[in-house]
Amino acid sequence: MILGALLRAASAIGLASTAVYAKWNANEQVSFATWNRPVQALASISQTEFTTLAHPFFPNHSVRIKKSKFCDETVNAYTGYIDIEARHLFFYFFESRNNPDKDDVIFWTNGGPGCSSSLGLFFELGPCRIPDANGTVFHPESWNNNANVFFVEQPVGVGFSYAEHGEYVGTTEEAAKDVASFVSIFFENFSQFKGRGFHMAGESYGGRYLPLFASAVYDQNARLAAAGLTPINLQSVMIGNGMTDSFKMFLSYYDMQCTPASVDPVVDIGSCVAMKSTLKRCESWMKTSCEDQYDAINCGAAVQFCQGTYSIPYRSTGRNPYDISRPCEGKIEETLCYPQTKFITDYLDKPSVRALLGVDESITKNYTSCDRDVNRAFAATQDILHPTKDYVAALLERGVRVLIYVGSYDWICNHVGNERWTLALEWSGQSEFASQELRDWLVDGKPAGKTRSAGAFTFATIAGAGHMVPYDKPKESLEMVNRWIAGKPL
């Protein structure tokens, strides 16, 4: 749910257990003499109280985890907090329906910045959905059909995550440190998952988050190995409808509303002509002030003008920014244009549900799908104006597979902008990737979208899906993920 970030970024900042932790010594080596290595099975975790996990590399981090029987009673579910001193990030974990002792692990985060991964859990790809006021129902096309799946509420302030003294995170770089630490703590404490294939996935602002998160995990692996600990088997990154290169995305708004890139043009001719006349100016301005040499003031001004020029005409149509084929239902600030999200909010506001999940009793505010304060904190640092495409290239060069998938009806993080940056990405496989023609990929013998691939890099569209692909096309998205984590081409 990246819309709030786009509307505020330029205008807001166009200006300006008993484990004893070991510490690094001068040679950056770790002594584990005093660390009581925990060897636990996840199934041994209590359902009535938290178990605390630690790691010698991260003296300021720990994890509280408990078993929580809810949502999908065919598998074990767990909830808890990643504690970073006074900051606490909430997470859900569901074992695989297939073979939890052998299947890969998927990490999922929603975007925003500031939107809750409970949305991904209960609305999109989780083992249950909340379609009405009656609570959860079994979701047959959940991504945990063949994988163990995390849903992490990050950064602090999102969903049930909280800070004790008003602390906050305002950049993706800060958030990446916490995520990488959590991943290491989990895998080191539960030996059953060591060496298991690990995939980091998300959508929307996840296009900025995930390349940095995965890079932090990858870079951390060298230090883990040097200390005699098991590195994380990071195999891939999956970005759905991501904002990875914001400057190419802003320009693509013209194509989405004024050409039949997905549907027939939806904006009046006069507005489209006016927008077209600014394309070269905006491309040059953003390249000069944002990419060639980042200047906070000039970059902020360029994005404020250009993003506004292309967004205002679309917003005036009343269409859903997450699905150009349909109108927005309800106030976007309250429903994200999907009234069903209100049922998720009501469910997570129930005291009985919060007690079951182990939500900290200090969380007294109502649950919100997207937190405005978190969004503003990221806007204040112009975080969105720092593309993460180079991190994608660096991951590819190191053998980490990357999947960029996009619903064909999404406007806000659309397939046009995502295809453009993937084709322009500078990496050793660029020529091969760019030379590939888009081809159909099939589900049950029928076209599910278009794809191109070279080496470790794959781009794919999902026909008829909007921003939240697993919600619109659950069968196709599950088939896509199953093929991907199995290492099969789409």
Identify whether 103 is a catalytic site residue.
Answer: no
Catalytic residue among 103, 323, 383, 410: 410
Instruction: Tell me how far apart the alpha carbons of residues 378 and 4 are, in angstroms, rounded to a whole number.
Output: 11
The residues near 390 (Cβ < 8 Å, ≥ 6 apart) are none
The alpha carbon dihedral of 39, 41, 44, 50 has a sign of positive
| Nearest one of 445, 444, 438 to 460, comparing CA atoms | 438
What is the distance between the alpha carbons of residues 86 and 280, in angstroms, rounded to a whole number?
A: 47
The whole-angstrom separation of Cα 103 and Cα 197 is 8
Q: How far is CA 396 from the centre of its chain?
A: 18
Long-range pairs, 328-337, Cβ under 8 A, ≥24: 332/3, 336/1, 336/119, 336/369, 336/370
Contacts of 183 (CB under 8 A, 6+ apart): 107, 198, 217, 232
Q: Which two tokens stand for residue 308?
A: 């506004």
Q: Report the C-alpha gap between 490 and 480 in whole angstroms.
A: 7
Q: What are the phi and psi torsion angles at 391 (to 5°)?
A: -70, -35
Cα 141 to Cα 127: distance, rounded to the nearest angstrom: 8
CB 75 within 8 A of CB 127: yes
- Helices 279-286 and 296-315 pack at an angle, to 10 degrees, of 150
Check 68, 184, 204, 236 and give the catalytic one: 204
Integer Cα distance of 209 and 202 in angstroms? 8
Count CB neighbours of 268 within 10 A.
Answer: 13
* Residue 386 is among the residues annotated as catalytic for this protein: no
Q: Catalytic site residue 410?
A: yes
**Contact predicate 128/381, CB 8 Å:** no
Cα separation of the two ends of the chain = 27
Which residue in the list 369, 467, 472, 477 is annotated as catalytic? 467
Token digits of residue 484 = 């991907």
Residue 168 CA, distance from chain mean position: 19
Q: Summarize the chain as % helix, strand, coil (round to 5).
A: 40, 20, 40
User: Which ranges of 190-294 does DSSP label H, i.e. alpha helix?
Assistant: 206-226, 246-258, 269-276, 279-286
- Return the beta strands (E) in 70-117 as ranges: 77-84, 87-94, 105-109
Question: Hey, which residues are catalytic here?
Answer: 204, 410, 467
